[in-house]
Chain A
Amino acid sequence: MWAISAINLKKTYGKEATVAVDDISFEVAKGELFGLIGPDGAGKTSIFRMLTTLLLPDGGNATVLGLDVVTDYKTIRKKVGYMPGKFSLYPDLTVLENLNFFATVFGTTVDENYDLIRDIYVQLEPFKDRRAGKLSGGMKQKLALCCALIHKPDVLFLDEPTTGVDPVSRKEFWQMLKRLKDQGITILVSTPYMDEASMCDRIALIQEGKILSINTPQAITAAFPSPIYAVKANNMFGLIQALQQQKEVSACYTFGEFAHVIYKEFPLSEIDMKNYLNENNLELQFYSSIEATIEDCFIRFLK
């Protein structure tokens, strides 16, 4: 039995029937850390809201722990933890009060499941009497995760948990997720950051309500069909313009301080590239074959 399964899930909004989720099907195994990767507006939050029984699907069906999201919503609510993308704890209650409140509404206590949140909570402990609204972004996310975990859910839904959080806190956050996974909790997480995708067991790339690809991050990057190189020159804008004129190049785009070049079939040698750039009054500073990242795959799927 799958922990989460969605079959032809569909959601449209408004009179113009804007399609937010378009016939999406995927399964998440028990104990899996599954990532929904996609840009803003891809439909990630709508999928989360349907799976957590907050939104009724317009078509298809979905089950969580074998329970239907429409008919068995009451049972699902007891067994899942949900952390919405927007911070949604009581800002005027303290850290401890929020935690106690959510423990009690699930009919449990903080002590009962303390071992589950211990790792995260120790970092929050010094601030336990601070109002939740006054915490820093990273601390807020940790508190929200604690509150979503406090009733020992079987499935954890995390909607963009690292959006707006600094890189160090993001890294810590993903380590926490790994530890939770080791305790057997199924985790569905969404993120717009492609670099976080490699932390997941499997990922689904989503764009405009459609799934582009589902696989392990390694399989997705390994399946990248064309040679890909990182290039650096003294003038990025000129470089991109020059590369776009090159007939062997199928695509090129900036990627941090480098430009990623995807060739149609045969890559240019370093000498050829250097000469080509010289013709365009550019100076080659770096040129190397690379492994495709998730982002490269994503960009390729979008074409």
Chain B
Amino acid sequence: MRTVRFLLEKEFKQIFRNKSILAMILVMPFMQLIIMPLAANYEVKNINLSVVDNDHSEYSHQMVNKVIASGYFRLVQTAQTFNQAMPKIESDQADLILEIPANFERNLIKEGNQKVFVAVNAINGVKAGLGASYLSSILRDYNEQVLMQWVQGSKIPITPNISITYSNWFNPSLNYRFFMVPGILAILVTMVAGFLSALNIVKEKEVGTIEQINVTPIKKYHFILGKLIPFWVLGNVVFTIGLLVSYFIYGIVPVGQLWVMYAFLFAYLPAILGFGLLVSTFCETQQQAMFIMFFFMMVFILLGGLFTSIESMPNWAQVVSRFNPVSYLIRVMRMVVLKGSGISDILPQIGVMAIFAIVLNTLAMFNYKKTS
């Protein structure tokens, strides 16, 4: 244990002398948490709309105004013909074309129904899909409004109507940031811990210091512990900074207890660090380690449930995400921060992380050879 203490002392000295690592640990949480949640947003706004109004009636004007007033659309053009509007889509200046047929108002009143045409630029699938559905819901709304005007006084309802009232549990105001920030914090902790540990043993290999260490009587598990503990501490530091940032900037106060999150982190960090160390023992240069970690990080993040929910992934991806430690952290973070889950709710996740940690670190220890 004395050896581990000296290894730790050495490791911490090296970390505190490495200005870039310190900057990464302190600045990254701030930057990421301040910028990312503001920019990464599911809500689609500023959809560029081009309107081809062949009717020029009161109804058609009313309808277009209603669409613009929703705040999601920006009128970029009022074209005479559809062909005139099309170049706007081709040059990516417009996302949607709404074409209102001639005699829209007359036919609507006379025949009781009328069709409008919506052309969607589907290059950006999310924007196109959401834009089209926003537009159609606004038009439906307008449709109801028109119906209401007509049936005033009449006692017979024309269509049966189910109106829905929402109550959003755990995030009543549907604040997007409450959902994103804990997830981003999870990614952040993972990145810092994963990359630092992956690059560390490789660095000793590159500099050649491992050669000197290998001829000493230091035991393998001492060496691995000496690498694990400093980054475990740093992971907790980054996490704490992140929680403070999300409290002071976004006013996010976890509903659940703080120690529950730290309890999970206690098991989670060794798992991630073990993975980093395992990568580290396989690589010869920091460049190799960097690329391998990058590959896994991409998979971890994209299949981690930060941006897209795991439940809506195909079956195989759901199976993969079960082996993805990041998905557990993101889930636990949201459970505790938004829902206030207690320790008993996240015990299964802690258990899985403990298994991950033991397996990965054991592998790393066996794969770290003092003799080649």
Q: Type the 1/0 row for B204-227, where 1 means its CB is closer than 8 Å to any CB of A.
A: 000111111111111000000000
Pair count A-B, CB < 8 A: 73
A-B contact pairs, 5 of them (CB 8 A): A53-B215, A56-B372, A80-B215, A91-B207, A92-B18
Q: Give A9 Cβ to nearest chain B Cβ, in Å.
A: 15
B2/A104 in contact, CB under 8 A? yes
B45 sits at the interface (CB 8 A): no
Which residues A94-117 have CB closer than 8 A to chain B? Answer: 97, 101-102, 104-107
Q: Type the 1/0 row for B2-42, where 1 means its CB is closer than 8 Å to any CB of A.
A: 11001100100110011000000000000000000000000
B56 sits at the interface (CB 8 A): no
Which residues A55-95 have CB closer than 8 A to chain B? Answer: 55-56, 73-74, 77-78, 80, 82, 84, 86-93
A105/B218 in contact, CB under 8 A? yes
Chain B hits for A186, CB < 8 A? none
Chain B hits for A107, CB < 8 A? 2-3, 217
B3/A105 in contact, CB under 8 A? yes
B106 sits at the interface (CB 8 A): no
9 additional A-B pairs beyond A90-B14, A102-B212, A107-B217, beta carbons within 8 Å, are A53-B370, A54-B214, A56-B372, A86-B211, A90-B207, A91-B207, A97-B13, A105-B7, A105-B213
Chain B hits for A74, CB < 8 A? 217
Closest Cβ neighbor of A93 among chain B residues:
B13
Residue in contact with A54 in the complex, picked from B6, B207, B370, CB distance below 8 Å: B370
Which residues A27-50 have CB closer than 8 A to chain B? Answer: none
Q: Give A69 Cβ to nearest chain B Cβ, in Å.
A: 9
Chain A hits for B168, CB < 8 A? none
Residue in contact with A106 in the complex, picked from B13, B211, B217, B371, CB distance below 8 Å: B217
Chain B hits for A90, CB < 8 A? 10, 14, 207, 209
Chain B hits for A105, CB < 8 A? 3, 6-7, 213, 216-218
B371/A77 in contact, CB under 8 A? no
Q: How large is the interface on B (under 10, 10 to 19, 20 to 34, 35 or more residues)?
A: 20 to 34
- Residue from the set B3, B213, B371 with the largest chain A CB neighbour count within 10 Å: B371
Q: Type the 1/0 row for B226-254, where 1 means its CB is closer than 8 Å to any CB of A.
A: 00000000000000000000000000000
A84/B217 in contact, CB under 8 A? no
Q: Which residues of A contact B (CB under 8 A)?
A: 52-56, 73-74, 77-78, 80, 82, 84, 86-93, 97, 101-102, 104-107, 131, 147
Q: Give A51 Cβ to nearest chain B Cβ, in Å.
A: 10
A55/B6 in contact, CB under 8 A? no
**Which 4 pairs show the lowest CB-CB distances between chains A and B?**
A88-B208, A104-B6, A82-B215, A88-B212
Q: Give B162 Cβ to nearest chain A Cβ, in Å.
A: 69
Residue in contact with A55 in the complex, picked from B13, B14, B207, B372, CB distance below 8 Å: B372
CA distance A56 to B369 in the complex (A): 11
Chain B hits for A88, CB < 8 A? 207-212
**Given contact pairs A77-B217, A78-B217, A104-B2, A92 touches B212 in the complex (Cβ within 8 A):** no
Closest Cβ neighbor of B370 among chain A residues:
A54
CA distance A104 to B2 in the complex (A): 8
Q: Give A81 Cβ to nearest chain B Cβ, in Å.
A: 8
B372/A102 in contact, CB under 8 A? no
Closest Cβ neighbor of A79 among chain B residues:
B217
B216/A106 in contact, CB under 8 A? yes
Chain A hits for B213, CB < 8 A? 105
Closest Cβ neighbor of B223 among chain A residues:
A105
CA distance A214 to B14 in the complex (A): 45
Closest Cβ neighbor of A153 among chain B residues:
B215
CA distance A55 to B215 in the complex (A): 11
Q: Give B212 Cβ to nearest chain A Cβ, in Å.
A: 5
CA distance A25 to B52 in the complex (A): 93
- Residue from the set B13, B215, B372 with the largest chain A CB neighbour count within 10 Å: B215
Q: Give A128 Cβ to nearest chain B Cβ, in Å.
A: 15
Closest Cβ neighbor of B214 among chain A residues:
A54
Chain A hits for B209, CB < 8 A? 88-90
CA distance A54 to B213 in the complex (A): 10
Q: Give B13 Cβ to nearest chain A Cβ, in Å.
A: 6
